[in-house]
């Protein structure tokens, strides 16, 4: 009896995880050659040069989170007291262990917001439960550190959904007069 393949079974998860490792995925030289008309040696030398210079740091899969049931992307802006170093370290340690939060950074702009997080959840209920259970209910003095937060839920329709890499290539091409 053949096993039914699922996109979220252990084998597929292990393969997706391995694809994220350095050197697991490499560009299709023939595809690039068809699109550009350049010789394979030129393409290979260019890719090696860009990697050596640190411009290309890896290759990996693009995934549709919704296929896995994660339909809610969240942006959270925090007003945090960054002078409380121990609380900041504890918060960052928790964030590093939290697979829902895939981005945390300092932020500047209007208002008092100085940290921004991007995270993904199945729904609003799981988002609030995770944030309350993993942070607000379990971290001592969290309210001494997080003074306020604003949460935004990304919704459809998406009016523009380009990758950061595509945007950067287009910006550079335009700035060099190539487009």
Q: What is the pLDDT along the chain (179 residues), one digit of tens a residue?
A: 567 887 777 888 887 777 777 777 788 899 999 999 999 999 999 999 998 999 888 887 788 888 889 999 999 999 999 999 999 999 999 999 999 999 999 999 888 899 999 999 999 999 999 999 999 999 999 999 999 999 999 988 888 888 888 888 888 888 988 88
pTM given for the model: 0.79
Largest CA distance in the chain: 61
The ranges of the chain annotated as CATH 3.30.70.920 are 65-154
User: Which CATH number describes the domain made up of 65-154?
Assistant: 3.30.70.920
């Amino acid at each position: 009896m053949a096993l039914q393949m699922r996109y979220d079974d252990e084998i597929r998860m292990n393969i997706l995880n391995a694809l994220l490792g350095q050197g697991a995925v490499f560009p299709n030289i023939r595809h690039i050659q068809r699109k550009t008309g350049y010789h394979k040696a030129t393409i290979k030398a260019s890719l090696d040069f860009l990697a050596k210079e640190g411009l290309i740091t890896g290759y990996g899969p693009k995934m549709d989170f919704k296929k896995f049931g994660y339909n809610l992307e969240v942006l959270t802006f925090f007003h945090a007291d960054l002078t409380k170093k121990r609380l900041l370290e504890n918060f960052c340690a928790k964030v590093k262990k939290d697979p829902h939060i895939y981005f945390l950074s300092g932020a500047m702009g209007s208002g008092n917001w100085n940290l921004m997080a991007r995270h993904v959840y199945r729904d609003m209920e799981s988002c609030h439960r995770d944030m309350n259970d993993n942070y607000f209910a379990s971290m001592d003095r969290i309210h001494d550190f997080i003074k306020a937060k604003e949460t935004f839920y990304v919704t459809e329709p998406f009016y523009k959904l380009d990758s950061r890499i595509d945007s950067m290539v287009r910006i550079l091409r335009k700035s060099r007069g190539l487009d």
